[in-house]
Copies of this chain bind each other. A is one copy, B any other.
Amino acid sequence: MRGMKTPREQLVHHVQNLERIEAERQAAAEDFSAALAGAKAAGFDPGTLRVVLRLRKLTPGQRKERRALEAIYLAALGMLEGDPLPDEARRRLDEEQQSRDMPGKGLSEAGSPPSREPKATPAPPPQLPMNLKDPEDARQEGRAAAAAGKRIYDNPYPAGDPCRAAWDEGWCEKKKSNGMDTPAAYQRRSKPPEKNDKDEKGAA
């Protein structure tokens, strides 16, 4: 009869049970380490793999939000370092501004993209397809655009151009607050959608 077991017998049973299960757990942990070491031996970076695995546990919406927030913060600190804001970040920043502008009027003719064309880039052998413009000029243009009420979408520089990120940073630097005391674009919003089983991971 089980209920008659002395506390000591119960304890021994639980301890043995725990030891067995913990051994399994440790074995599983070692399997994981081994797999990671295998990936490393194949030339992949373990740290980046960990990051990727963590990201894959999130929903695409959560992933986008995180990247957007991170980029917005980095832009505000002047640390974009050549990479333009992701689209989600632009959407957030613009959304906030729109909510400010909306009551009055729609934002008029936004950015007639200046006559800069991506231009040739006929044979950019090892370099990036960059133009000759100084990114600092682009940063100043971004500041001016923000001061003039232009939207973050009005960045005229093409992809791959360091000026694009510099313009973004300049815009973020000068953009006025929308009057709200809390900068909505800097906050998290999305909630993990109630943990249903149908997983919506990124494709593999």
Contacts and interface: CB of A to CB of B under 8 A. Distances in A.
A185 interface: yes
A83 B86 contact: yes
Residue from A118, A153, A172 with most neighbouring chain B CB atoms (10 Å)? A153
Interface centre among A11, A24, A47, A76 (most CB of B within 10 A): A11
Contacts of A32: 18, 21-22, 25
Interface of A: 3-8, 10-12, 14-19, 21-22, 24-25, 27-29, 31-32, 35-36, 38-39, 42-45, 47-49, 51-53, 55-56, 60, 63-64, 66-67, 69-70, 73-74, 76-79, 81-84, 86-88, 90-91, 94-95, 98, 106-107, 109-110, 112-113, 118, 120-126, 128-129, 153, 155, 157-160, 162, 164, 172-177, 181-188, 202-204
Contacts of A184: 43
Contact of A8 (B66, B70, B175): B175
A11 B67 contact: no
11 contacts: A7-B177, A10-B42, A12-B76, A18-B35, A56-B77, A77-B202, A79-B203, A110-B124, A129-B153, A157-B159, A158-B159
